[in-house]
Structure 1
């Protein structure tokens, strides 16, 4: 697999991940709408220990997600582009924004979350499982647990 490469709009922040995404979602929660400035935010989950920030600096903003968990959203300190997020209480994975990927064609979402908050004027992806609220914990933890249990060093 070729590495995932990405960064911000002004190209100050650059990153590389040497692992394929573990989970891929579209989230319609109100916080993702605010953060993206649009109707949703799309994420790929990657193992944090396989993600390297090559340049630039990130600022962060901590929020209480609709799930009730603390979420740290990270963005470029120069241009403000959203780059990633992670749960400080469970920092094994980082959620890269699909908009920050150089090659967005790798994005193949399986689920759309928080459809109860989705805007009626915005179409949804035809091939995803739609969930009214957040995911069942196994939807995320299952693939993450399997990955860490079976990965090579």
Structure 2
């Protein structure tokens, strides 16, 4: 899977060179606030599979839905929030790429909805969608191939 995206002004471009580990729809208040929307679609992928060209994103440290810090990366020219690095995410240098910045954002859809305790009441999740009030346990949700990739990544770090 080769997915490409950019910030609004095009100063930052990127290509994802592997498939996502998983795709989240996060409904936490922090994601609502930073995106100015009801939720955000995050593509969880290893940093080494995100090939950036153009400008280097700037970053700011914010609190995530878990209460732990996360680093939000954005274009300093147009302000587009392109990805985050969450402190609580296991594995080496995982990035959470904003699917809305993809050239073709309908190429991905959420595997799981998280922090639905703060989901806007008028938003209806798709029938049968996997959803959690807060976070979840990876072993309970992720496909076997993604869990194995995460295991291999962790083993390579030791």
Which TM-score applies when normalising by structure 1?
0.86
SS at match of 1:130: coil
Q: CA RMSD in A?
A: 2.3
How far does the alpha carbon of each residue in 1:45-67 deviate from its partner, in whole angstroms, 9 at most, with x for none?
Answer: 11111212111131111112121
Gap regions ≥5 residues in structure 2: 154-158
Q: Higher strand proportion, which one? A: 1
1:36 positional shift? 0.7
Aligned to 2:29: 30
Aligned to 1:109: 110
Aligned to 2:100: 99
Aligned length: 150
Runs of 4+ in 1 over 6 A off after TM superposition: none
Which TM-score applies when normalising by structure 2?
0.83
Gap regions ≥5 residues in structure 1: none
Aligned to 2:119: 118
**Is contact 1:47-1:94 (8 Å) kept?**
yes
Aligned to 2:156: none
